[in-house]
Homo-oligomer: A and B are copies of this chain.
Amino acid sequence: MIRLYVQDPLSPGAPVAPSPEQARYLVAVMRKAVGDAVLLFNGRDGEWRAVVETVTKRGCILKVEAQTQPQHFPPDLDLIVALVKRGPLETIVEKAVELGARRIRLVATRRTNVEHIKLVRLDAIAVEAAEQTGRLDVPGIMTTQKLDAMLDDWPPERRLMFCDEAGDDPNAAWGGDVGKAAPALVNLKNAAQHDLQQNAQPNGPWAILIGPEGGFTPEERDWLRSLPFVVPVSLGPRILRADTAAIAALTLWQAMLGDWR
């Protein structure tokens, strides 16, 4: 069933006018006619079944029928990604939506070349990915901030999973019987256990930081590692491109602390 993200409020009987692009997709591409059903969500009112009520030359009108899912959100996880080239950045946005990041934040580091970012284009990719993956919200994409300004302003209760090419604590021990799991998993688990002992929430707010293609500078890495909310993790023995690292980090977090459990 086709899913569309719309701006209008959703309630029984409400009329909804899809955007010109959505209307063209529904009528011209997918050949939807009066009476055909679609699913709608707006990030606030859950998911609703609607039917095509009228089709005109200029578009179509949908009529909302019944709610199919109440509104819910993925865990409170930000993906913070250093500015990388357009292709990998678009891949990262699409995959971050599929993998349940709540927000996407862009960051400039010493080794990023700040190009002009087309937020409108990234927003459109996020909407399409949310429609396809079954989410009921579309992650906001925040404009670029400098890394030092971001860290100076950091709320201390939000943990930061720092994907560090230099690896993580080699002494992190795994409790399982079959050898050891990756230190990345152990470090995430230990941080959550520590927060639980401190009477904070074990599944409180988190963020993931992915560096630029050239990596962080030694000064940036030292600073990040010195911050109390930072959890450094390694993503294995091979060099990963930024988009691969982002997908891998989101996967580990969701499997260990997020909504894959």
Q: CB within 8 Å of B: which residues of A?
A: 91, 94-95, 98-100, 132-135, 174-185, 189, 192-193, 196, 202-203, 234-241, 244, 247-248, 251-252, 254-261
Chain B residues whose CB sits within 8 angstroms of the CB of A177 once the complex forms: 189, 193, 196
Q: Is A259's CB under 8 angstroms from B237's CB?
A: yes
A196 in complex: contacting residue of B174, B178, B180, CB < 8 Å: B178
Q: How far is the CB of A141 from chain B (nearest CB, A)?
A: 18
A240 in complex: contacting residue of B133, B174, B234, B237, CB < 8 Å: B133
Chain B residues whose CB sits within 8 angstroms of the CB of A252 once the complex forms: 251-252, 255
| Complex-state Cα separation, A153 to B43, whole angstroms | 48
Q: Is A260's CB under 8 angstroms from B247's CB?
A: no
Q: Is A261's CB under 8 angstroms from B202's CB?
A: no
Q: Is A241's CB under 8 angstroms from B184's CB?
A: no
Chain B residue nearest in CB terms to A72: B237
Q: Is B238's CB under 8 angstroms from A135's CB?
A: yes
Chain B residues whose CB sits within 8 angstroms of the CB of A241 once the complex forms: 94, 98, 132
Chain B residues whose CB sits within 8 angstroms of the CB of A134 once the complex forms: 237-239
Chain B residue nearest in CB terms to A235: B260
Q: List 7 A-B contacts (CB under 8 A).
A: A98-B239, A178-B257, A185-B255, A185-B256, A236-B259, A248-B251, A251-B251
Q: Is A236's CB under 8 angstroms from B100's CB?
A: yes
Q: Is B256's CB under 8 angstroms from A181's CB?
A: yes
Known interface pairs A178-B189, A234-B260; 16 further A-B residue pairs with C-beta atoms within 8 A, sorted by A's residue number: A98-B240, A99-B240, A100-B236, A133-B240, A175-B175, A177-B196, A178-B196, A179-B261, A180-B261, A181-B189, A183-B261, A184-B260, A185-B256, A251-B251, A251-B252, A252-B255
Q: Is A247's CB under 8 angstroms from B251's CB?
A: yes
Q: How far is the CB of A236 from chain B (nearest CB, A)?
A: 4
Q: Is B184's CB under 8 angstroms from A255's CB?
A: yes
